């Protein structure tokens, strides 16, 4: 059966096809180059040969060719990142077994709000439009030296489209206009997307405006399934509200995941001004917003004591409504770039930014007339000062970062029939919260011997504060202030035995200071309630990694590596009590109390490999494979147990064919099985898997074909057929089934 694909079969396919890198580049740059430029190595442009960290780059050419509907799909399509989904409008990337508030997210050099990022699953990357990106750098492993708290598993560094001045050989006095536009349709989710980018460029002034809009209908899952798992994933029935009463209705098409539709739009505005040869200014405004985003996994949770059957009369869901309110992200940033010739620095970059996040959680239990809406508003002010200085063999980058979050949390619980209001707790302190992060860092790339050996060393110190005002007497703790210190370092050696070989050894650390979600959140799950607890210490991770990159005869690239990460003071749920009680009765249901604490340690080991071959002038074979294992220990004397968030083996194989005006790709994206014995804590969501009692996610693969053709100079048509076999599958820990057979059509125009 299609879902019975074993990991040994995947590996056999991988070697048989002589695979290569999943992030396919344009044909003229089909093989990775040690001279490729990245910014994630020291915050300024550096060549890959000098960097000891493992960094992948997804370019604008790859993004446009793949023409995927969301950032979730972009990351899943790499084969190196697993993306958990609780709803169609969400996607939580897992990098080396760590996700959510244990990875860093940076947009145009500004870190996203992390004050209320939770440890479970996050959908915030979905508010970044992949159609408005210039590139995406994926930084693997602990990266707190450059990016601060949370960068334990890695960093997603997004760079949006840049304004362009007119060409230097253009001597006219007029401004030059250029741009692009696209329309896209995909049938599995009835996606209808469109957008444009307009650039106005002069000699010293340029402005870029971009807009996109996407409307997604209910997502259709694959129809071909393994009978071993019965109706797993099928939407047999759904909730409706009629005549003032909740009721269950049979779904005429169980493959339609009713409750997954949403829409989103994104706006990008940049203004670039060159003051002189040494100084330029960039103004950057970004805004994204969505409609209500239904939380599909919660909408399909059965009420306690209810088994799975096809009778909508006897079977009830726990929630009648569960959705995120419109999720908006606003960023306004100013960046000053200045070249100087002083003893302290050659270049200076100052970025001051303001961000605002709005989100809400809205739910109502099935058969209950009380609706609750928890609303969060986060204002965030950041200042980054980055400097670089070249002194003989040293490329020194150093700077400071300040981050302040102002969080307002409110709640509204009311009867939908009478309008009568009743008590409910806010998710975070009701009197407001302020978090602060103040850091200094330094990173040096030392040329031990030109084109032969480079040493990367760096360190960062951070002071982190939380101040909360609590007026709600029902919370376990009142108002409080917390101060934590964080320190990280990295030491890496990059060796180049020849111009086509690179060996790296790297030791890096990362830290995660507790945020509001760790110390103040009030949260109810299906079986327990998490109460606030300010006595949480920072997590500390140390990562050891070896990597080998080899280019053979200009047609073959081989890369493989291994890593080990140890995390001390690992934050996880612990049993607790409130006022001497270990549980509470809410609406007739018993809930135990839990809190977050540092009782655990964790270790993660992993290995990865990739290969790429150019066959003649027109064929490119490529792919990758990744293995991860994670273990957790509650106490020094306790036995080890599986760590949650650890995805199964994953990878991608592909073959590309390209000639002038035409490019095509046939790819196989695959995941191994997540076996029952490897399921960790609740974040693995065993109840959403094929075995809702013990947990089991079957292996899966999808066969995908896409092509792009330039019908005239400035017009391109694209077509893709994804999940050709129409397989039913779920990505590990997801509460929603993946798209079935999906026809994707795109029209692009440049002017």
Spacing of C-alpha 520 from chain mean position: 24
Token pair belonging to 594:
């839990």
Number of other residues whose CB lies within 10 A of the CB of residue 382:
21
Number of other residues whose CB lies within 10 A of the CB of residue 280:
17
CA–CA distance, 36 with 26 (Å, rounded to integer)? 14
pLDDT confidence of 572, banded at 50, 70, 90? confident
pLDDT score of 659 more than 50 = yes
In our burial notation (b when 16+ CB lie closer than 10 A, e otherwise), range 592-612 reads ebbbbbbebbbbbbbebbbbb
State whether residue 127 is helix, strand or coil. Answer: helix
pLDDT confidence of 307, banded at 50, 70, 90? low
Comparing 298-302, 349-353, 459-463, 663-667, the range with the smallest average pLDDT is 298-302
CA–CA distance, 617 with 611 (Å, rounded to integer)? 18
Residue with tokens 């340690």: 601
Would you state the pLDDT for residue 449? 95
The pLDDT tens digits for 92-117 are: 999 999 999 999 999 999 998 778 98
What are the residue ranges of helices labelled H in 27-104?
60-66, 71-76
CATH code: domain of residue 426: 2.40.170.20
Better-predicted residue by pLDDT, 655 or 576: 655
Q: What mean pLDDT comes out for the span 32-39? A: 79
Would you state the pLDDT for residue 308? 58
The pLDDT tens digits for 49-58 are: 999 999 999 9
Residue with tokens 């969501």: 685
CA–CA distance, 398 with 416 (Å, rounded to integer)? 55
pLDDT confidence of 305, banded at 50, 70, 90? low
CA–CA distance, 686 with 451 (Å, rounded to integer)? 50
Would you state the pLDDT for residue 14? 37
CA–CA distance, 160 with 162 (Å, rounded to integer)? 6
The pLDDT tens digits for 148-186 are: 999 999 999 999 999 999 987 777 878 999 999 999 999
pLDDT confidence of 520, banded at 50, 70, 90? confident
Would you state the pLDDT for residue 526? 63
State whether residue 147 is helix, strand or coil. Answer: helix
State whether residue 407 is helix, strand or coil. Answer: strand
Total structural domains within the chain: 1
CA–CA distance, 49 with 37 (Å, rounded to integer)? 9
Residues contacting residue 411 through CB under 8 Å, at least 6 positions apart: 372, 373, 374, 375, 424, 425, 426, 427, 430
CA–CA distance, 111 with 488 (Å, rounded to integer)? 17
Taken as a whole, the chain contains a residue count of 751
Comparing 75-84, 366-375, 460-469, 635-644, the range with the smallest average pLDDT is 635-644
Comparing 93-102, 166-175, 284-293, 334-343, the range with the smallest average pLDDT is 166-175
Would you state the pLDDT for residue 334? 98
State whether residue 52 is helix, strand or coil. Answer: coil
pLDDT confidence of 12, banded at 50, 70, 90? very low
Q: What mean pLDDT comes out for the span 458-477? A: 91
CA–CA distance, 594 with 572 (Å, rounded to integer)? 10
State whether residue 169 is helix, strand or coil. Answer: coil
The answer to whether the CB of 684 falls within 8 A of the CB of 694 is no
Q: What mean pLDDT comes out for the span 490-515? A: 94
pLDDT score of 493 more than 90 = yes
Supply the mean pLDDT for the chain. Answer: 91
Could you tell me what percent of the chain has a pLDDT over 70?
93
pLDDT score of 311 more than 90 = no
Comparing 40-54, 276-290, 552-566, 575-589, the range with the smallest average pLDDT is 575-589
Number of other residues whose CB lies within 10 A of the CB of residue 284:
24
Token pair belonging to 206:
């340029």
The answer to whether the CB of 104 falls within 8 A of the CB of 150 is yes
Report CA-CA distances (Å) from 401 to 352, 383, 385, 394, 439.
Answer: 10, 6, 7, 22, 5
241: left (phi over 0), alpha (psi -120 to 50) or beta: beta
pLDDT score of 615 more than 70 = yes
Could you tell me what percent of the chain has a pLDDT over 90?
77
Would you state the pLDDT for residue 7? 41
DSSP assignments along 368-388, one per residue? --EEEEEEEEEEEEEEEEEEE
Would you state the pLDDT for residue 306? 65
Q: Burial, 566: exposed, middle or buried (Cβ in 10 Å; 0-12, 13-18, 19+)?
A: middle
Residue with tokens 């945020």: 515
Strands 589-615 and 528-530: parallel
| Count of H-run helices and E-run strands, the chain | 6, 42
Q: What mean pLDDT comes out for the span 400-405? A: 97
Q: What mean pLDDT comes out for the span 693-722? A: 97
- Taking CA 446 as the corner, what is the angle to CA 444 and CA 449, rounded to the nearest 5 degrees? 170
Q: Nearest CA to 667 among 724, 730, 747?
A: 724
Q: What mean pLDDT comes out for the span 719-748? A: 98
CA–CA distance, 317 with 252 (Å, rounded to integer)? 18
pLDDT score of 492 more than 90 = yes
pLDDT score of 68 more than 70 = yes
Beta bridge partners of 302: 317
3-state helix, strand, coil in the chain (%, to 5): 10, 55, 35
Domain span at 181: 2-750
pLDDT score of 228 more than 50 = yes
C-alpha dihedral, 634 to 638 to 639 to 643, nearest 10°: 0
pLDDT score of 32 more than 80 = no
The answer to whether the CB of 206 falls within 8 A of the CB of 163 is yes
Would you state the pLDDT for residue 160? 97
State whether residue 123 is helix, strand or coil. Answer: coil
141: left (phi over 0), alpha (psi -120 to 50) or beta: left
pLDDT confidence of 312, banded at 50, 70, 90? low
The answer to whether the CB of 703 falls within 8 A of the CB of 263 is no
Beta bridge partners of 56: 138
pLDDT score of 700 more than 50 = yes
The answer to whether the CB of 179 falls within 8 A of the CB of 163 is no
Token pair belonging to 106:
């940076």
Q: What mean pLDDT comes out for the span 463-469? A: 95
HSE-CB of 526 using CA atoms within 13 angstroms: 17
Would you state the pLDDT for residue 591? 79
The answer to whether the CB of 183 falls within 8 A of the CB of 139 is no
């Amino acid at each position: 059966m299609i879902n019975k694909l074993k990991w040994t079969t995947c590996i056999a396919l991988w070697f048989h096809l002589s695979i290569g890198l999943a992030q396919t580049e344009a044909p003229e740059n089909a093989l990775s180059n040690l001279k490729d430029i990245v910014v994630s190595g020291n915050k300024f442009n550096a060549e890959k040969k000098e960097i000891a960290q493992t960094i992948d780059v997804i370019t604008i050419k790859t993004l446009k060719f793949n023409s995927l509907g969301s950032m979730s799909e972009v990351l899943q399509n790499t084969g190196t990142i697993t993306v958990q989904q609780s709803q169609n409008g969400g996607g939580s990337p897992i990098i080396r077994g760590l996700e959510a508030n244990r990875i860093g997210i940076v947009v145009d050099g500004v870190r996203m709000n992390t004050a209320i990022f939770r440890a479970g699953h996050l959908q915030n990357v979905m508010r970044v439009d992949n159609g408005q990106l210039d590139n995406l750098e994926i930084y693997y492993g602990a990266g707190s030296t450059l990016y601060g708290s949370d960068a334990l598993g890695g960093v997603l560094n997004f760079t949006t489209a840049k304004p362009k001045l007119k060409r230097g050989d253009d001597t006219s006095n007029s401004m030059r206009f250029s741009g692009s536009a696209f329309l896209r349709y995909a049938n599995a989710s009835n996606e209808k997307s469109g957008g444009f980018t307009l650039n106005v460029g002069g000699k010293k002034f340029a402005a870029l405006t971009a807009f996109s809009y996407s409307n997604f209908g209910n997502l259709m899952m694959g129809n071909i399934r393994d009978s071993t798992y019965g109706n797993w994933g099928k939407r047999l029935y759904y909730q409706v509200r009629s005549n003032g009463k909740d009721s269950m209705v049979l779904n005429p098409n169980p493959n339609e995941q009713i409750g997954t539709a949403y829409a989103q739009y994104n706006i990008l505005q940049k203004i670039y001004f060159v003051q002189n040869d040494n100084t330029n200014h960039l103004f950057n405004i970004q805004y994204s917003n969505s409609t209500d985003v239904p939380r599909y996994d919660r909408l399909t949770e059965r009420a306690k004591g209810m088994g799975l059957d096809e009778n909508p009369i006897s079977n009830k869901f726990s929630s009648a409504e569960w959705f995120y309110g419109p999720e908006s992200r606003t960023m306004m940033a100013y960046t000053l770039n200045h070249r100087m010739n002083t003893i302290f620095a050659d270049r200076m970059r100052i970025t001051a930014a303001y961000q605002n996040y709005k989100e809400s959680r809205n739910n109502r239990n099935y058969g209950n007339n009380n609706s609750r809406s928890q609303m969060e508003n986060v204002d965030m002010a950041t200042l980054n000062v980055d400097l670089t200085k070249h002194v003989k063999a040293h490329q020194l980058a150093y700077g400071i970062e300040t981050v302040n979050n102002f969080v307002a949390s409110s709640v509204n619980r009311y009867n939908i029939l009478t309008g009568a209001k009743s008590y409910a707790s806010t998710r975070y302190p009701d009197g407001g919260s302020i978090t602060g992060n103040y850091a200094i860092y330094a990173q040096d790339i030392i040329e031990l011997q030109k084109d032969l050996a480079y040493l990367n060393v760096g360190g960062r110190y951070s002071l982190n504060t939380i101040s909360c005002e609590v007026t709600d007497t029902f919370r376990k703790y009142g108002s409080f202030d917390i101060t934590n210190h964080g320190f990280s370092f990295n030491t890496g050696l990059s060796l180049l035995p020849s111009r086509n070989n690179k060996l790296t050894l790297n030791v890096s650390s990362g830290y995660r200071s507790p945020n509001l979600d760790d110390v103040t959140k009030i949260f109810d799950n299906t079986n327990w309630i998490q109460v606030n607890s300010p006595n949480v210490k920072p997590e500390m991770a140390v990562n050891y990694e070896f990597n080998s990159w080899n280019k053979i005869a200009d047609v073959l690239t081989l890369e493989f590596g291994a890593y080990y990460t140890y995390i001390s003071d690992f934050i996880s749920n612990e049993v607790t009590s409130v006022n001497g009680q270990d549980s509470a009765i809410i609406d007739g249901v018993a809930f135990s109390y839990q809190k977050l604490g540092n009782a655990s340690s964790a270790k993660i080991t992993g290995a990865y490999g990739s290969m790429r071959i150019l066959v003649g002038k027109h064929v490119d074979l490529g792919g990758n494979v990744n293995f991860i294992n994670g273990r957790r220990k509650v106490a020094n004397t306790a036995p080890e147990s599986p760590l949650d968030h650890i995805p199964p083996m994953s990878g991608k194989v592909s073959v590309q064919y390209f000639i002038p005006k035409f490019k095509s790709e046939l790819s196989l994206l695959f995941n191994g099985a997540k076996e029952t014995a490897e399921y960790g804590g609740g974040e693995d969501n065993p109840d959403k898997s094929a075995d809702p009692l013990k947990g089991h996610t079957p292996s899966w693969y999808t066969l995908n074909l896409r092509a792009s053709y330039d019908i005239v100079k400035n017009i391109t048509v694209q077509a893709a057929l994804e999940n050709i076999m129409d397989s039913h599958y779920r990505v590990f820990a997801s509460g929603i089934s993946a798209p079935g057979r999906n026809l994707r059509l795109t029209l692009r125009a440049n002017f």
